[in-house]
Amino acid sequence: MSEFQNIGLIGRTENNSAVLSLKRLMTFLEGKGFSVVLEKETSLSVPNHKARVSTRDKLGELCDMVIVVGGDGSLLGAARVLAKYNVPLLGINRGRLGFLTDITPDEIEQKVGEVLAGKYLVESRFLLDMSVTRDGKLVGKGSALNDVVIHPGEFIRMIELDLYIDNQFVYTQRSDGLIISTPTGSTAYALSGGGPIMHPKLDAISVVPLNPHTLSSRPIVVEGSSEFKIIIGRQNIANPHVTCDGHDQIITEPGNVIRIHKKPDRLTLIHPIGHNFYEICRSKLNWQNGN
Upper half-sphere CA count for residue 157 (Cβ side, 13 Å): 14
Give the whole-angstrom CA distance, residue 150 versus residue 213.
15
Q: How far apart are the first and last CA of the chain?
A: 43
Length of the chain, please? Answer: 291
Give the whole-angstrom CA distance, residue 96 versus residue 98.
6
Q: Which one is catalytic: 57, 64, 72, 176?
A: 72
Residue 134: C-alpha distances to residues 14, 252, 254 (Å): 37, 8, 9
Exposure string (b/e) for 185-214, b if CB count within 10 Å is 16 or more? bbbbbbbebebeebebeeebbbbbbbebee
Q: Nearest-CA neighbor of 178 among 224, 225, 243?
A: 243
Exposure string (b/e) for 160-173, b if CB count within 10 Å is 16 or more? bbebbbeeeebeeb
Give the whole-angstrom CA distance, residue 7 versus residue 54.
12
Give the whole-angstrom CA distance, residue 16 versus residue 22.
10
Give the whole-angstrom CA distance, residue 240 versus residue 245.
16
Long-range Cβ contact pairs of 188-197 (< 8 A, separation 24 or more): 188/72, 188/99, 188/146, 188/147, 189/146, 189/147, 189/149, 190/147, 190/219, 193/219, 194/219, 195/219, 196/221, 197/281
Concerning whether 203 is annotated as a catalytic residue, the answer is no
Please identify every residue annotated as catalytic. 72
